[in-house]
Amino acid sequence: MSATAKTTVAVSDVLAARIQNRSARVGVIGLGYVGCPLAVEFAKAGFTVTGIDVQPHKVNVINAGESHIQDVSGEEVRQLVSSQKLWATTDFSALSELDTISICVPTPLRKTKDPDMSYVVSACEQIARYIHPGMLIILESTTYPGTTKELLLPMLEEQGLRVGVDFFLCFSPERVDPGNSNYQTSNIPKVLGGVTPECTRMGALFYSQGLKQIVPVSSTEVAEMVKLLENTFRMINIGLANEIAVMCDRMGINVWEVIDAAATKPFGFMPFYPGPGLGGHCIPIDPFYLSWKTKQSGVEARFIELAGYINGHMPHFVVDKIQNALNDVRKPLRSSRVHILGVAYKRDIDDVRESPALDIIHLLHRGGSHVTYSDPFIPTLSLDGGQHIESQNPLTACSEADCVVIVTDHSSFDYSAILKASPLVVDTRNALKQFKSDKIVRL
pLDDT at 3 (0 to 100) = 42
pLDDT averaged over the chain? 92
pLDDT at 1 (0 to 100) = 41
Q: Are 16 and 52 a contacting pair, CB within 8 Å?
A: no
Class of domain 234-442: alpha beta
CA count, 13 A, side-chain hemisphere, 331: 17
Q: Where in the chain is the domain with CATH 3.40.50.720?
A: 3-218, 234-442
How far from 69 is each of 27, 80, 180, 351, CA to CA, in Å?
18, 15, 13, 10
Q: Active-site residues: which are they?
A: 282
pLDDT at 109 (0 to 100) = 79
Q: What CATH number does the domain located at 3-218 have?
A: 3.40.50.720
pLDDT at 249 (0 to 100) = 95
pLDDT at 308 (0 to 100) = 87
Strands 403-406 and 337-341: parallel
Q: For residue 209, which amino acid is it?
A: Q
Using alpha carbons, select from 333, 325, 280 the residue that is nearest to residue 427. 325
The list of the chain residues with pLDDT below 70 reads 1-9, 281, 283
Using alpha carbons, select from 122, 141, 167, 189 the residue that is nearest to residue 11. 167
Q: Are 238 and 223 a contacting pair, CB within 8 Å?
A: no
H/E stretch holding 238 reads: helix 220-251
What 3-state DSSP class applies to 102? strand
H/E stretch holding 223 reads: helix 220-251
**Number of other residues whose CB lies within 10 A of the CB of residue 118:** 13
Check residue 66 and give left, alpha or beta (phi > 0: left; psi -120 to 50: alpha): beta
CA 404 to chain centre: 28
pLDDT at 43 (0 to 100) = 97
16: exposed, middle or buried (C-beta count within 10 Å: 0-12, 13-18, 19+)? middle
Q: Are 365 and 381 a contacting pair, CB within 8 Å?
A: no
